[in-house]
Amino acid sequence: MVQARDPVADVPENAPEHCPGTESEFAGKADACAGCENQQICASNDPKLPDPSLPFIKARMASVKRKILVLSGKGGVGKSTFTAQLGWAFAADEQIQTGIMDVDICGPSIPTILGIASEQVHSSSSGWSPVYVQDNLGVMSVGFMLPSARDAVMWRGPKKNGLISQFLKDVDWGELDYLVVDTPPGTSDEHLSIVQFLKESGIDGAVLITTPQEVALQDVRREIDFCRKVGIRILGLVENMSGFVCPGCKTESKIFKPTTGGGKKLAQDMGIELLGSVPLDPRIGKSADYGVSFLDEYPDSPASIAYLDIIDRIKEILGD
Amino acid sequence: MSNRNIFLGANLLSSNFDFELVRFAMSSSETPVSRRLQSVKHIIIVLAGKGGVGKSSVSTQLALNLYQSSPSARVGILDVDLTGPSIPRMLGLDGHGVHQSSDGWVPVYADGTDARLACMSVGFLLKKKEDSVVWRGPKKNGMIRQFLSDVRWGDLDYLVIDTPPGTSDEHLSLLEHMAPVHSRLSSVIVTTPQAVALMDAMKCLSFTRAVNLPVLGLIENMSGYVCPCCGEISNVFSTGGGEEMARREGLKFLGSLPVDTELVSLLDASEVDRESENPVDANRAEKTAESFVLLNRYSKTSSAKLFKNISEGVAASLAEAPASN
């Protein structure tokens, strides 16, 4: 059988077969290390040189009270939509300062969803100014930096990481009560970087988003595994698109059938909280395309009520 | 605001191209990848930009339709979504493993002993299906190179490659490693009718133009939903945007696919579920094309009928494309 190596361990390409990984405490000392050309580097006890940007990030993040990640292994399940609703809901209280940071570098949707796609980022003596949706809701995304929306950002990991680091240290977030971070799908560079950059400042927790089908749940299981490996607290799971009410006959049908029990079963199996289920409402997608707040436009819809309950529960869990 | 304010975009654009390597690699001649892919006639990369628009389900359907297009067609499907592999589940191959032979890794065959539909995914390499693959770019790059150079695909008429969302490491690596066989590469772009998805599809198109990758056409997925109760069509994610984009950008519009709950359930169910629902097939001695349960059931979905045209459109585009492209 061919098997992938321990996924988290950092194994260089020229490593021997049973390399324990460069981050392992056995690095350079395990039996397998004998004869490896990197053995000396691994074995030397010098702590790895910390990223020089870390102190700056820590200083900038000192004025941010709560940092929340929105994660999902799978794409298109509603991470950005949820992030935007969460931001809007927090910012509905004028006293609360909220920031949204979009670290999806190759597919930034946040500017469109928040209706600020044509804005640009400016820099001042105190750093890059976020784009403000309203005076207590600031946003940063790579979408503000592209000459046109059709331009593709074709970057490999290190460049993406560099930009994420800049978002954290160079953006003049000011005093924030909440910073909500929207992530791309998967468990790769962006996710590792944001976790590493925020390690010292502390991440308050992650909200995981899923849809009811097994293909999405599979990816969310992997994301839970990731959170546990890197030590991020999981605030809970949100199930999106969990039913569809036909506008014609008002009958509810399941577009994405929970063939394996959906988010509820997943939450039970993995020992995490199901924060709530949001039904599929075509108006959510429309609001996102037009850049208006679904919660403000349709406050009485079942989806809005579900969203608000989930957001209240998140605040409760955080103790706010 | 003072004159200190500068627009940061210009900064970013100057460095928004991570692609020098690819162009460089194109001049190189023979590599382990090109040797391995010598026996593959057409390589079709399925791209989307946005996640969750149906790349994997389109890849799966495309592979099944190409497989069906002739009784001797040999098709491969390679899943390079390393951190979120969905292809094994969709083909009902969850839990299968990859074996090593003297001639490289043996792909998993979805049609059993007929061995005309070969599949490879990182999902087959994980000990447990919930294990996360937390890899940065260089390791993903290594894995993709191995998939392309070490898998014993054999003779293939088509190799369909399913990609993760975005235009980043995986996509650059694919193009880089396959540069020696660039003349056999082409792509299909999948989108949904939403503005956010169309925007990402546009980025994807810019990517294909930057790397000189031919686009066979555009597919609009999740275009409308038919209420199973009253038959009313709801445009859950709006409709028509894909066709409009294809017209504007001079792309071939391959077709639109409505949300098909039957298909969602079929691709979402595991092999075990499928067999238990098919007592007729249960007493078979061994898997052959006749008892290729997934294909049989797929053929009965409404999507299969629509996708047949799409698949034929893809084949027609491939035939039209000048060999030198």
Band of pLDDT at residue B280, cut at 50, 70 and 90:
very low
Read off the tokens for B80: 């390079």
Report the amino acid identity of residue B178: M
A208 - beta bridge partners? Answer: A71, A237
Using CB atoms, which residue from A113, A188, A224 is nearest to B83? A188
Residue B238's domain comprises 29-320
In this complex, is the C-beta atom of B99 within 8 Å of any C-beta atom belonging to chain A?
Answer: yes
Q: Which residue has the higher pLDDT, A50 or B36?
A: B36
Band of pLDDT at residue B21, cut at 50, 70 and 90:
very low
A222–B165 C-beta distance less than 8 A: no
Residue B8 inside a domain? The answer is no
Residue A158, CA distances (Å) to A175, A189, A193 in order: 29, 8, 10
Among the residue ranges A50-64, A256-270, B19-33, B83-97, the one predicted with the least confidence is B19-33
Question: What pLDDT score was predicted for residue B274?
Answer: 57
Read off the tokens for B192: 């949904």
A142–B238 C-beta distance less than 8 A: no
Question: What pLDDT score was predicted for residue B236?
Answer: 81
Q: Is the pLDDT of residue A140 over 80?
A: yes
Using CB atoms, which residue from A159, A214, A251 is nearest to B227? A251
- Report how many domains make up chain B: 1
Write down the H helix ranges in chain A: 39-43, 54-61, 79-91, 110-113, 157-169, 189-197, 214-230, 262-270, 282-290, 294-297, 302-318
- By CA distance, what is A221's nearest residue in B? B130
Contacts of B87 in chain A (CB under 8 A): none
In this complex, is the C-beta atom of B240 within 8 Å of any C-beta atom belonging to chain A?
Answer: no
Residue B9 inside a domain? The answer is no
Using CB atoms, which residue from B5, B12, B137 is nearest to A189? B137
Read off the tokens for A98: 């909220």
Residue B3 inside a domain? The answer is no
End-to-end CA distance of chain B: 51
CATH number at residue B100: 3.40.50.300
A20 - beta bridge partners? Answer: none
Q: Is the pLDDT of residue A160 over 70?
A: yes
The string of pLDDT tens digits covering residues A110-139 is 999 999 999 999 988 999 999 999 999 999
Q: Which residue has the higher pLDDT, B307 or A37?
A: B307
Band of pLDDT at residue A185, cut at 50, 70 and 90:
very high
Read off the tokens for B43: 């390589």
Spatial contact of A65 and A180, defined as CB atoms under 8 Å apart? no
Spatial contact of A192 and A55, defined as CB atoms under 8 Å apart? no
Burial of B203 (0-12, 13-18, 19+ CB in 10 A): buried
Average pLDDT, integer, range A250-254:
84
Query: Residues of A numbered 177-196 whose beta carbons fall under 8 angstroms of chain B's beta carbons: which are they?
Result: 184-189, 191-192
In this complex, is the C-beta atom of B166 within 8 Å of any C-beta atom belonging to chain A?
Answer: yes
The string of pLDDT tens digits covering residues B167-198 is 999 999 999 999 999 999 999 999 999 999 99
Residue B157, CA distances (Å) to A168, B69, B315 in order: 48, 11, 11
Query: Residues of A numbered 193-222 whose beta carbons fall under 8 angstroms of chain B's beta carbons: which are they?
Result: 211, 213-216, 218-219, 221-222
Half-sphere exposure of A300 (CA within 13 A, CB side): 0
Question: What pLDDT score was predicted for residue A255?
Answer: 87
Domains and their CATH numbers in chain A: 1-49 (no CATH), 54-318 (3.40.50.300)
User: Interior CA angle at B36 toward B116 and A36, to 5°?
Assistant: 125
Band of pLDDT at residue B281, cut at 50, 70 and 90:
very low
Question: What pLDDT score was predicted for residue A88?
Answer: 96
Band of pLDDT at residue B282, cut at 50, 70 and 90:
very low
In this complex, is the C-beta atom of A145 within 8 Å of any C-beta atom belonging to chain B?
Answer: yes
In this complex, is the C-beta atom of A49 within 8 Å of any C-beta atom belonging to chain B?
Answer: no
Residue B75 inside a domain? The answer is yes
Nearest to B162, CA basis, from B187, B197, B139 = B187
The percent of residues above 70 in pLDDT, for chain B, comes to 83
Read off the tokens for A210: 């899923």
Q: How far apart are CA B181 and CA A220, in angstroms?
A: 36
Residue B24 inside a domain? The answer is no
In this complex, is the C-beta atom of B212 within 8 Å of any C-beta atom belonging to chain A?
Answer: no
Read off the tokens for B76: 């491969």
Report the amino acid identity of residue B208: T
Q: Is the pLDDT of residue B291 over 90?
A: no
Read off the tokens for B99: 């074996």
The percent of residues above 90 in pLDDT, for chain A, comes to 74
Among the residue ranges A96-100, B107-111, B233-237, the one predicted with the least confidence is B233-237
In this complex, is the C-beta atom of B101 within 8 Å of any C-beta atom belonging to chain A?
Answer: no
In this complex, is the C-beta atom of B167 within 8 Å of any C-beta atom belonging to chain A?
Answer: yes
Contacts of residue B251, defined as CB under 8 A and 6 or more positions apart, other chains included, come to: B189, B205, B215, B217, B218, B245
Residue B23 inside a domain? The answer is no
Among the residue ranges A233-237, B142-146, B227-231, the one predicted with the least confidence is B227-231
Read off the tokens for A127: 């750093």
The string of pLDDT tens digits covering residues B42-91 is 999 999 999 999 999 999 999 999 999 999 999 999 999 999 999 999 99
B206–A152 C-beta distance less than 8 A: yes
Query: Residues of B numbered 286-325 whose beta carbons fall under 8 angstroms of chain A's beta carbons: which are they?
Result: none
Contacts of A191 in chain B (CB under 8 A): 134
Q: How far apart are CA A188 and CA B173, in angstroms?
A: 15
Residue with tokens 């590469």: B185
A184–B9 C-beta distance less than 8 A: no
φ and ψ at residue B66, rounded to 5 degrees = -65, -35
Spatial contact of B36 and B151, defined as CB atoms under 8 Å apart? yes
Q: How far apart are CA A235 and CA A315, in angstroms?
A: 10
Using CB atoms, which residue from B19, B51, B133 is nearest to A185? B51
Q: In whole angstroms, how large is the CA radius of gyration of chain A?
A: 21
Question: What pLDDT score was predicted for residue B239?
Answer: 81
CB atoms within 10 A of CB A126: 10
Residue B206 inside a domain? The answer is yes
Q: Which residue has the higher pLDDT, B18 or A76?
A: A76
Report the amino acid identity of residue B56: S
The string of pLDDT tens digits covering residues A199-215 is 999 999 999 999 999 99
Report the residue of B4, B136, B150, B174 to disrupt the A interface, i.e. the one with the largest count of A CBs within 10 Å: B136
Q: Is the pLDDT of residue B233 over 70?
A: yes
B185-191: strand order across its sheet: B108-109, B117-121, B75-79, B156-162, B40-47, B185-191, B215-220, B253-256
Contacts of B200 in chain A (CB under 8 A): 107, 109
Q: Is A106 annotated as a binding residue?
A: no
Residue with tokens 């955080």: A318
Q: Mean pLDDT of all residues in chain B? A: 86
- Helices A189-197 and A214-230: angle between axes, nearest 10 degrees: 30
